Structure 1
């Protein structure tokens, strides 16, 4: 049986959800971002037990089909931006349609209805957050970051960065450096 879980955004989330399900004596066959496959079918009482266990940790069981689709879109985008080592070979709409086995217009309409923003804006926001993370590390040039995030140019990344965050990548990099303390200053 598949359970759809909101707010699973990282590998640590997967470990926590798996551990909590095992504490309740459920046997997860697989735990992915936003989705758990259990060995056994569960009833409404079991779902409530799981929900009550996960809710204090910030996770929610999703029952509504539209909400599940919106969460699946978010999970796919998070995986693409934050965890995939390969750039997307097709456009985002084709990728999402293929992964969710549904027409993009349907997926897009549901996502916009549930999340109050377009898929494209969400995708760009995720890419900018990843760029911020990479800038904070200071290991890559802006050119390398633009390439890794599949931007056509540094100018394109910089323009989107400024539009989303309100500042340029270089100003952000300087500000984030100023906000961090060295170990001897703590």
Structure 2
């Protein structure tokens, strides 16, 4: 039991020792001085609050998640919360969504290792040892192009066969099953051997 409490103490000390992150928002500041929004690292309870379902069990869409992230985490430079739950309607309906989205993206995803951008972290994970791009030649592990394989039963590629099936009722409206004056656009595939 003593070992478990020491791990828990180390985990809480790690959380408490992390620095606040910030973003400068020129649109919400005064001329020449952008508003600085800060936030602390996420806890599980805070994330649950942001991603919670509504009373009807419906999962929130991206805009609501962004607004909830601002409400839960956005603070001023002194660490005082900028918004509360009563501001959700105003943030959702009367504020520029691009600005809210940019701030929320920084709060939700900007707290990556080493303060790096989301794209850099994703790319680093892709190229990490054992990742999908770990090989020198990216074409070495590329899967075959399933959509262009020849369907030998019908002499057309699978995508065009599917389109033919989906368009079948439309094509039957003309004389002898063809629409008058419209050539078969997939004839080139058959002639090319796809």
Flag the structure with larger Rg. Answer: 2
The one of the two structures with greater contact order (alpha-carbon pairs below 8 A, sep at least 6) is 1
TM-score, normalised to structure 2, is: 0.23
More helix by share: 1
TM-score, normalised to structure 1, is: 0.24
